Amino acid sequence: MITESNIDNLYRITSNLSNRDYQNTLNNYKQHHKCIKYGSFSYSLFGETLEALEHYKLSTLKNITKEQEEQVKAYLLKIKFVQPNLLTETNGNYEQWHNTKILQAN
């Protein structure tokens, strides 16, 4: 069984990676354009972010297999050793999500 703290960690990871993808793309856009028109600015998620998102989706399933659970836990362990900074809150998305999650539980 995947604990709530692990689900929270996966959310933080996907949130931080998504924010990093956005910032990288925005910085590249700024280098090539003098005026920033946010309506015409778009970005996509990189492979690392999509992998984290897949693990987050797996962790929220009600009927998760033992192999899927081990896969998610191995991914979390890899992140804790390789990129522990992704587990810290670097943007406001986590607080908004956490407060919404608490309201839905009540």
Which residue carries 């995947």 as its tokens?
Answer: 2
- Sorted by where each begins, the domain ranges of the chain are 4-25+42-99
pLDDT given for residue 90 in this prediction: 66
Three-state SS for 89? Answer: coil
pLDDT, averaged per 10 consecutive residues of the chain (106 residues), comes to 88 89 84 69 87 93 92 95 85 66 65
Res 39: pLDDT: 61
Query: Alpha-carbon distance 87 to 68, whole Å?
Result: 21
What tokens does 10 get? 């996966």
What pLDDT does residue 42 have?
Answer: 77
pLDDT at residue 32 in the model = 77
CB distance 2 to 72 below 8 Å: yes
0.85 exceeded by the pTM?
no
Give the C-alpha separation, 30 to 62, whole Å.
43
Nearest partner of 15 among 103, 74, 91, judged by Cα: 91
